[in-house]
Structure 1
Amino acid sequence: MASFAERLRKQAGRLSRAQRQLAEFILQNEPRAAFMTAARLGAAVGVSESTVVRFAIALGYSGYPELQRDLQEELRARLSAADRLVLAEERGERAETILDTVLRTDMENIRAALASLPRDRFGEAVTALQGARTIYVVGHRSAAALAHYLGYYLQLMLRNARTLTQAGTVLEELMAVGPEDVVVGITFPRYARATADAFRLAARRGARTILITDSVVSPLVEDARIVLPARSESPSFADSLVAPLSLINALITAVALAQPDRVRAALRELEDIWDRQGTYLKEERRSDRIAAPGDAEGEGSP
């Protein structure tokens, strides 16, 4: 998918004077322009709203909303945390109203994931995780929290998962990776170089690669066999990890339900260890939530 700048270069000779003025304004004021409505952008340049819409169509977009989304996605991949906070202030975000804005954005991110996630690719990811010799879960910066969460539960269930979140040693820890292994990479704008390097190494060594990221145009996509997109858009400088976490929860649950006997046995053994160690204040056998086929009551019931 061509970026705004690429589209602009291809169509520059065909643009009208007013459209060239719009292009120049956007390039010079990109952080602010990316969040302007068509009417506001037109007013800032001194052209009509319809001219802004025609400008977007001239660049090959379906309309101004698609152009705006493109600008925002490109911007999010480059902005520093401080820049993103400035943008939030420029959009008029306030501490007293931000709760509603953040929660609405999180809900929209989940709705978008539900609508866009390819079910067949999700199924392929579950199958790959089940059949892996070793699962490596790679995530850095804020995505490290998601990597730890996914790696923790895969290790509990399958006992063959390793979580790699240390940038300085991740390539060394992947030296033994091969075609029988699965590498799950988790990254969001601004994409971590350590995750990209690890993912590239895994792909080169023939490992099955699963990418959890914000978009199918993520720079790591070319090294991924399976891409599972989940938006991380946020009105704040901090990425929203709600939709990616929901996706990861679905992966964990699907893996467990695909082989309940194996997972239930592993969890019950762990429960006995935890009971002896007094790990929890109150005993809770979460393994019993995975019912054996045909169980109505007793040992296999939730």
Structure 2
Amino acid sequence: MASFAERLRKRAGRLSRAQRQLAEFILHNEPRAAFMTAARLGAAVGVSESTVVRFAIALGYSGYPELQRDLQDQLRARLSAADRLVLAEERGERAETILDTVLRTDMDNIRATLTSLPRDRFADAVAALQRARAIYVVGHRSAAALAHYLGYYLQLMLRNARTLTQSGTVLEELMAAGPEDVVVAITFPRYARATAEAFQLAARRGARTILITDSVVSPLVEDASIVLPAKSESPSFADSLVAPLSLVNALITAVALAQPDKVRAALRELEDIWDRQGTYLKEERRSERIVGPGGPGTGDGLA
């Protein structure tokens, strides 16, 4: 998919004077322009909102919203955490209203992911995980939390999963991967270099590669057998991992439902081990803490 700059280079000679002014403004004010509405962008340049819309179409976009998403995606891949916080301040985000903004953005991310994620690609990923001799789940920095979560449950169910989040040893461990194995990489802007290098190695070794990322234009896509995009847009410097986590939950559940007998047997064996080890609080112990020996109100309470 061509970027804004590539589209502009190809079509610059066919743009009107007003459209060239818009292009120049965006190139010199990209962090601001990426989050402007069509009306605000037009006002900043001194042209009408309809001119902004026609400019987007002239570049080959379906409309201004698609151009804006392209600018935002490219911007997120380059901005530092401090830059992103400055942008949030420039957009007027405030501590007293941010709760509503963040939760609404997370809901929008889930809706967008649900709408855009190809169902056949999801089914392919589930089938690949089922058939894999070994599964390697790779994720660094904030994505390490998702990698641990996915790897933990895959190991519980299938007993052939390894979670790789330590940059210094990931490449060495992936040297064992081959065509019968699956490598899952999880990464979001600004895309961890260690994850990209591990994914490239997995692809070179012939492993089936599954990528969970924010966009089909992620730099890791060329090494992926299967791409599962999940929106991670956020009004803050921290990426939203809500939609990616929902996608990971769906993968875990789909794998379990695809081979229920095997997973059920594994979980029952684990439950026996957990019971013997006292891994979880027993129901009667929780009740004793809520209602003490002297009756309601005399226990230690919830903790």
Q: TM-score band (shorter)?
A: over 0.9
| Contact 1:209–1:225 (8 Å) recurs in 2 | yes
Number of matched residues? 302
Aligned to 2:282, the other structure's residue is in SS state: coil
Aligned to 2:236, the other structure's residue is in SS state: coil
Consecutive unaligned residues of structure 2, counting only runs of 5 or more, are none
CA distance in 1 between partners of 2:291 and 2:158 (Å): 17
Pair 1:291–1:190, CA change in 2 (3 A) = farther
CA distance in 2 between partners of 1:124 and 1:283 (Å): 40
CA distance in 1 between partners of 2:235 and 2:122 (Å): 28
Pair 1:271–1:285, CA change in 2 (3 A) = farther
CA distance in 2 between partners of 1:289 and 1:216 (Å): 50
Pair 1:136–1:149, CA change in 2 (3 A) = same
| 1:52-92 deviation digits (Å, cap 9, x = unpaired) | 11111111111111111110111011111111111111111
Percent sequence identity is 90
Residue 13 of structure 1: how far off its partner (Å): 1.4
Aligned to 2:281, the other structure's residue is in SS state: coil
| Contact 1:212–1:244 (8 Å) recurs in 2 | yes
Aligned to 1:136, the other structure's residue is in SS state: strand
Aligned to 1:183, the other structure's residue is in SS state: strand
| 1:134-184 deviation digits (Å, cap 9, x = unpaired) | 100000111000000000000011111000001121111101110010000
Residue 295 of structure 1: how far off its partner (Å): 38
Equivalence for 1:274? 274
| Contact 1:260–1:290 (8 Å) recurs in 2 | no
Pair 1:201–1:218, CA change in 2 (3 A) = same
Residue 129 of structure 1: how far off its partner (Å): 0.6
| 1:106-156 deviation digits (Å, cap 9, x = unpaired) | 111111111111111111111111111110000011100000000000001
Aligned to 2:211, the other structure's residue is in SS state: strand
Pair 1:4–1:286, CA change in 2 (3 A) = farther
Pair 1:133–1:67, CA change in 2 (3 A) = same
Aligned to 2:283, the other structure's residue is in SS state: coil
| Contact 1:140–1:195 (8 Å) recurs in 2 | yes
- Greater shift after overlay, 14-23 or 179-188? 14-23
1:182-197 paired onto structure 2 within 5 Å: 182-197=182-197
| Contact 2:292–2:298 (8 Å) recurs in 1 | no
Equivalence for 2:301? 300
Residue 271 of structure 1: how far off its partner (Å): 1.1
CA distance in 2 between partners of 1:241 and 1:53 (Å): 32
Structure 1 residue runs of 4+, over 2 Å off? 282-302
Pair 1:99–1:19, CA change in 2 (3 A) = same
Pair 1:153–1:101, CA change in 2 (3 A) = same
CA distance in 2 between partners of 1:292 and 1:250 (Å): 40
CA distance in 2 between partners of 1:248 and 1:38 (Å): 35
CA distance in 1 between partners of 2:292 and 2:180 (Å): 29
| Contact 2:291–2:298 (8 Å) recurs in 1 | no
CA distance in 1 between partners of 2:137 and 2:251 (Å): 13
CA distance in 2 between partners of 1:289 and 1:249 (Å): 32
Residue 43 of structure 1: how far off its partner (Å): 1.1
- Greater shift after overlay, 181-190 or 110-119? 110-119
Name the TM-score, length of structure 2 as normaliser: 0.92
| 1:5-31 deviation digits (Å, cap 9, x = unpaired) | 001111111112221111111111100
Consecutive unaligned residues of structure 1, counting only runs of 5 or more, are none
Residue 285 of structure 1: how far off its partner (Å): 16
| 1:241-260 deviation digits (Å, cap 9, x = unpaired) | 00110011011011111111
- Greater shift after overlay, 263-272 or 156-165? 263-272
- Greater shift after overlay, 128-137 or 41-50? 41-50
Pair 1:284–1:232, CA change in 2 (3 A) = farther
Equivalence for 1:112? 112
CA distance in 1 between partners of 2:164 and 2:154 (Å): 13
CA distance in 2 between partners of 1:72 and 1:180 (Å): 38
CA distance in 2 between partners of 1:286 and 1:125 (Å): 39
Residue 282 of structure 1: how far off its partner (Å): 2.6
Name the TM-score, length of structure 1 as normaliser: 0.92
Pair 1:139–1:196, CA change in 2 (3 A) = same
